[in-house]
Amino acid sequence: MMTDASLPEQLWFEVRKAATLMERRAESVVMAKTGVTLGLFMVLSVLHARDTPVSQQAIADRLGLTKGTVSRLLESARREGYVTSEVAAASRRERAVALAASGREVVEAGDAALALSDLADFAAKDPATALAVIGGLRGFIASMEVNP
């Protein structure tokens, strides 16, 4: 722990390190089970959580990614047959994207692998702390979104 650093510095370093470790571990687990990258899996997961088609902007907003990054990931998903897309009803400039059956299979396999991995151990062993971390992160994220 960095005790000589200011509180904002400690927060930045600890959040960054946690995010990096989590992404590396999740990437490894998801890739081994599904053969897709974590980025593509996350996009497919957003679609899996919705019953109706979603805009690229909504996906970008949900994941904190740029619209360009989401566009590249969706193009890969389209090539693999994981998603379908059509012109959005609200705007001809937007595409509405929906999960195909093969995309649903990828998400379900990835979710199952993550649920059985050591990534789930922390929450299972200490749910109260896990909920406290989630609450703290939600507050942190909300303050960052208000003050970009």
Q: At a CB cut-off of 8 Å and minimum separation 6, what does 142 contact?
A: none
Band of pLDDT at residue 41, cut at 50, 70 and 90 = very high
Residue in 30, 14, 25 with CA at minimum distance from that of residue 118: 25
Q: At a CB cut-off of 8 Å and minimum separation 6, what does 60 contact?
A: 66, 67, 69, 70
Residue 88 has pLDDT above 70, yes or no: no
Q: CA 53 to CA 99: how far, in whole Å?
A: 8
> What 3-state DSSP class applies to 35?
coil
Pairing of strands 54-55, 95-99: antiparallel
pTM of the model: 0.82
- Reported as a single tens digit per residue, the pLDDT across 94-136 is 778 889 999 999 999 999 999 998 888 888 999 999 999 999 9
Residue in 128, 65, 53, 58 with CA at minimum distance from that of residue 97: 53
- Domains of the chain, with CATH numbers? 18-116 (1.10.10.10)
- Reported as a single tens digit per residue, the pLDDT across 46-78 is 999 988 888 888 999 999 899 999 999 999 999
